[in-house]
Amino acid sequence: MGQAEEPSGHAAAELAAAASVDDRPQPNLPLLEALVAHSPVSSVTLSDNGTYVAALVRKGDDQRLAVWNPDEGIDLGVITELTREDVRWMSWVGPSVLLICRQDESIWTFNAQVAVLRPLLDADQANRTGVSLVSSVANDNDRILMQWSSGSRASYPGVYRVDLSSGEITEMETPRQPVFIWWGTRDGDIVLGTGIAGRKKMLFVRDDGIGGNTDVLEGQSFKPAADEMRWRKLVEWDVFDDPYFEVQHVNPDGKTAIVLSAHDSDTAELWRYDLTNGKYLSRLASDQTYDIAGAIIDPASGAYAGVHLRTFGPEQRLGQPAWQQYQAAIEAAIKEPGIRFIGGSRDGRYLVVRTQPIHTHPRYYRLNRRTLEIVPFWPYEQNTSPLLAANAILQTEVWIDRAVSERRKRGDMVRRPMQAILTTASGQKSDKAVVLIHGGPVKRVQSQFNPLVSWLALNGYTVLQPNFIGSSGYGESWRRAGYGEWGGRMQRDVRIALMWMHENGYASTDSLCVAGGSYGGYAALMSAAVDSDLITCAASYNGVTSVPLLLEYLATGRFSMQTLPRIRGKNSDRKLRHLSPIAVAKDIKVPVLMLHATLDQNVPYVQGRLMADILNRRDKDHTFITLEGAGHTLIRAQDRRVYFGELLDFLNQYTNESPENP
């Protein structure tokens, strides 16, 4: 549970006075419970012949791994004792065996035909880490290919064939520095490796003597066996200086791949790529405004079918007539936004479809590819709270002019408007508002269900979520313009969003708060110091309070050079200290709410504790709440319950609605 420190000085007086106000709005507890609850079903995956489905299903305040026949329903299925926090990943192998990797990296199998869960590989066997599935082998339901690093070798993964009946392990590919991800075909051939070294990434392919880079990658001992195939470097790129590049899928032929690349456009496009010579063969999909987010691959054939992208909300574009027919059938039958194909059975009979309504959790359906019959995996209508009605909230896309705040530094990009999502409760007008800053910061928000946003909107707050400069999804120029801009350009975009709320009549100075988590918490705390003329309060969840301390912590992790330059930019240590909330705490003039989780592995708890101590010493109006046992993301319903409740109490305490909008 959350534990609040005892406020001191001015803060204590303010909180005591607020507590005596009888007419302060009280939380809607049934609504709170509906919003903090887990999704009724998530992580849905079908067996190879579609006979069984595995998913995480809601069970009280938790989720459990369940397996059932979708034609018979969940009531006749098996709900295991494995919780959401127990399961790292799961994947079907063949028609009835579910492979499960637990958080301790042990491997288990669940045989759906006999409903038996058993261990396959112990957690401490060979001190394995980074366990992942490389490929299940077509027409072979007894063996799989996996990769992991072993404590007896340097920390790069090898590839191993695992017999699902006996647990017998055979090394298929020796660990090779710097390969960190291995790629296999549907037939079980290992054809590609992704390497990471410093700021660079690289692709390695088998050395068959066909063109490409002549650098040869040998075994980790640098003395491979005489009969062992060698690998050569196909391509190398700097993740900060060179165009974006990412492998999405290795095609069944093993000689080509589907990749995302920005080599020919500012936005990431989808290409077919030659793995023998590193050449781009054909452009598959592109958009002038938005990055392509990923490829849709036919689970039966392994062929390209379309793309996912994020515009205002989730969207997919399909290149094959049959897939366009699937999409049309779903749109006609379900009439829900955010349709996405996320998998299916390998025998070609079924697809798994996910929709993303804005008023409730994502929903999952099974589509019969031959008959176009659509069946929900869960009885949604009977199990959705009436408090989360389809028309309860309204989300609107807005584009905010930000050119006035920018000097011409990087071409026309600096004059581009900023996309934002505006959420209100349907039929309500209020000038109490929150500007909610997303984390990352190389992430973005889109129109979809967000329990926290719904909680605020349904309690009378207008919520604006800006995709400030540096957010992902809008092309290379927009994303990279945020590098090294903590407290700079990105922070100025927060102010622009606050000003927009004032100028468009959604808020006034005494009715507008800024809030966010992780990077968003950092931005909210900085705003408390530099935007007090626009806001009345600020709230941070797991927010960064010292940029130098964050960089020091991240530097201890693996592959830190893939992240650190994006934060540091060209800033000196001295400047980074000045761009930290702890350095500007003296300038904070509005009340601050801070929550921080004790088990946060991204932004350690000491960051929150340090800021709270400084605010105490400076006698600043603040409340600090410790979330015991919680992590960076609030997976547990009990932690979301504390966060949502405390945030609403804080907002109600410090925001006032104008007389014309009672």
Top-tier CATH class for 2-17+423-441+450-654: alpha beta
What is d(CA 67, CA 52) in angstroms, rounded to the nearest whole number? 7
For helices 29-36 and 637-654, the axis angle rounded to 10 degrees is 130
Question: CB–CB of 276/318 below 8 Å?
Answer: no
For residue 25, name the pLDDT band (cuts at 50, 70, 90): low
**pLDDT for position 427:** 76
Of all residues in the chain, the percent with pLDDT exceeding 70 is: 89
For residue 215, name the pLDDT band (cuts at 50, 70, 90): low
For residue 18, name the pLDDT band (cuts at 50, 70, 90): very low
Q: Helix count (H) and strand count (E) of the chain?
A: 13, 37
Average pLDDT over residues 480-498: 96
Q: How many CB atoms lie within 10 A of CB 248?
A: 19
**pLDDT for position 187:** 85
**pLDDT for position 636:** 92
Average pLDDT over residues 303-330: 95
Q: Which two tokens stand for residue 645?
A: 């409740």
> b/e for 435-456, b at 16 or more Cβ within 10 A?
bbbbbbbbebbbbbbbbbbbbb
Average pLDDT, the chain: 89
Which pLDDT tens digit goes with each residue over 376-396? 998 887 666 777 777 889 999
**pLDDT for position 10:** 39
- Spatial CB neighbours of 435, under 8 Å, sequence gap ≥ 6: 463, 464, 465, 466, 494, 497, 498, 501, 512, 513, 514, 515
Which pLDDT tens digit goes with each residue over 52-85? 999 999 999 999 999 999 999 999 999 999 999 9
Of all residues in the chain, the percent with pLDDT exceeding 90 is: 77
- β partners of residue 99: 91, 109
Query: Does the pLDDT of residue 620 top 90, yes or no?
Result: yes
Burial class (CB in 10 A: 0-12, 13-18, 19+), 230: middle
Q: Which of 152-166, 246-260, 380-394, 436-450 has the lowest mean pLDDT?
A: 380-394
Q: Which of 209-213, 386-390, 429-433 has the lowest mean pLDDT?
A: 209-213
Which pLDDT tens digit goes with each residue over 102-160? 999 999 999 999 999 999 998 766 578 889 999 877 677 888 999 999 865 558 999 99
Average pLDDT over residues 535-541: 98
**pLDDT for position 382:** 66
**pLDDT for position 27:** 72
For residue 279, name the pLDDT band (cuts at 50, 70, 90): very high
Question: CB–CB of 493/474 below 8 Å?
Answer: no
Which pLDDT tens digit goes with each residue over 391-403? 889 999 999 998 7
The amino acid at 619: D
Residue corresponding to tokens 């990077």:
519
Query: Does the pLDDT of residue 275 top 90, yes or no?
Result: yes
Question: CB–CB of 473/293 below 8 Å?
Answer: yes
**pLDDT for position 122:** 86
What are phi and psi for residue 521, nearest 5 degrees? -65, -40
Query: Does the pLDDT of residue 92 top 50, yes or no?
Result: yes
Average pLDDT over residues 238-248: 96
Q: Which of 214-228, 416-430, 470-484 has the lowest mean pLDDT?
A: 214-228
pTM over cut 0.85: yes
**pLDDT for position 402:** 87
Q: Where are the domains of the chain?
A: 2-17+423-441+450-654
What is d(CA 614, CA 611) in angstroms, rounded to the nearest whole number? 5
**pLDDT for position 339:** 95
